[in-house]
Amino acid sequence: MKILHITENDRPGAGGAVHQLHDELLTIGAESKMLVMISEKPDKHIIKYTPPKETALNKVSNRISQLLAHYKTVPYIEYWSNNHYLFTLPKTLNKISKHPLIKEADIIHLHWISYMVDYEDFFANLTGKRIIWTLHDKNPFTGGCHTVGHCTNYERGCGSCYQLDSNNPNDLSRKVFLIKQKAYEKHALCFVAPSQQMLLAAKKSLLLRNSEIHCIPHGVSLSIFKKREKSLSRNLLNLPQDKILILFGAFVSYLNKGFNYLQEALAFLKGKKVDFSRVAVVTFGPKQNAGAFEKKTGIPIYQLGLILDRIKLSHAYSSCDVFVNTSPEESFSQTCLEAMSCETPVVAFPVGAMPEIITSNKTGVLANLKDADDLAGKIEYILSHPEERQEIGANARKHVEQAYNIKIEAKRYYDIYKGLL
């Protein structure tokens, strides 16, 4: 059985979850490969997609396609360009359906494919292939949105998209929805949701409600993501030994990652029980200007940048006293699971799989959704109770070992692969 995972990248986050699953499938003897657009360390099992060399005719055709795609976005360009990571189009210039790895695969396992897959070309040329698709966000069943907030238009076919600030029922989101509907109709697609919350949304969606949908939580590699000696980890990452460190892992400027809630919460805590002269924030992800954060909170911030090495990432988790995830919407939250596996207590909003993974004050701490004041109280509690912090971290590790071991995830996927064939 030849399994091919298709995902935009193999970096931490959705890509990291795919990478861990792929590695475990190899461990149990499956013939697994990954096809990605972005990879720092491609090898014989992780292949970076390289578009074929363009002919003069292809260049003209591709340019026309780009202009047509741009023309469709013009009415929404102000909103779409500012939220390009929240709303993506199903059109790309990549025609990966002809790739040799796709032709030889028995199972095509799709993951996060925006910017990589042209839906019309891809699905039209995969007739007869067994396709399984993990829902790393809601994009596969919406008219372009990756997060939907309180919008339920995807249950009715999209249109009047709030992400595009549109009141037009036949707007770009409706057109994208119809492209996806036509692309899916000739395939018996099998979908996997990583959380019950995502499973419920998928079943309500007009695009997927008649599809086969399973729920398989993501797993984590327990041998990589484990507790490491704190002072050693801090030395390795050039972090201060005498500070209480709060870890945040995401693009701090992306609204859907909720860094603003952490900033507001820490501003609330100024002058309270916590001695803020001893507190600092650590981030991993692309480095960005942190001047506004430090000015508002009075707290120094240490930016580790994008961490691609998973062992180094486990040191980042282990170096800090608490991991805070303030995303107002998630499909799962792989970073929270990795932090818990490293015995670093997590404070998060109850979104995605968080209510399933975290029993508040036992395996982590849940704050009221989008409530910076309550988030501040939860962070203050964790920071000012070191014994409870250590106990929650230890409980979190045990819970991950029992329920979220990557071996469990790989076995469940492998059983579905066999069933599809």
Task: For the chain, give every domain's residue range.
Answer: 2-219+406-420, 230-403
Altogether, the residues listed in the chain come to a count of 421
Q: How confident is the model at residue 254 (pLDDT cuts 50, 70, 90)?
A: low
The mean of the pLDDT values for the chain is: 88
- pLDDT digits over 306-340, tens only? 898 999 999 999 999 999 999 888 888 899 999 99
- pLDDT digits over 79-107, tens only? 555 555 688 888 888 889 989 999 999 99
pLDDT at 145 over 70: yes
User: Is 3.60.150.10 the CATH classification of the domain at 230-403?
Assistant: no
- Strand 190-193's sheet: what is its strand order? 46-48, 31-36, 2-6, 107-110, 130-134, 190-193, 212-215
- Give the pLDDT score at 67: 47
- pLDDT digits over 233-246, tens only? 999 999 999 999 99
- Give the pLDDT score at 263: 86
Helix H or strand E encompassing 386: helix 386-403
Residues 1-15, mean pLDDT to the nearest whole number: 90
> Over pLDDT 70: what percentage of the chain?
89
- Give the pLDDT score at 128: 83
Residues 273-284, mean pLDDT to the nearest whole number: 82
Question: How buried is 177 (Cβ within 10 angstroms: 0-12 exposed, 13-18 middle, 19+ buried)?
Answer: buried
Per CATH, 2-219+406-420 and 230-403 having the same topology is answered yes
Residues 15-32, mean pLDDT to the nearest whole number: 94
- Give the pLDDT score at 206: 97
Q: 2-219+406-420 has which fold? A: Rossmann fold (3.40.50)
pTM above 0.85, yes or no: yes
Write the CB contacts of 32 (distance below 8 Å, at least 6 apart in sequence): 3, 4, 5, 22, 25, 26, 45
- pLDDT digits over 187-235, tens only? 999 999 999 999 999 999 999 999 999 999 999 999 999 999 999 999 9
pLDDT at 257 over 80: no
- Give the pLDDT score at 71: 46
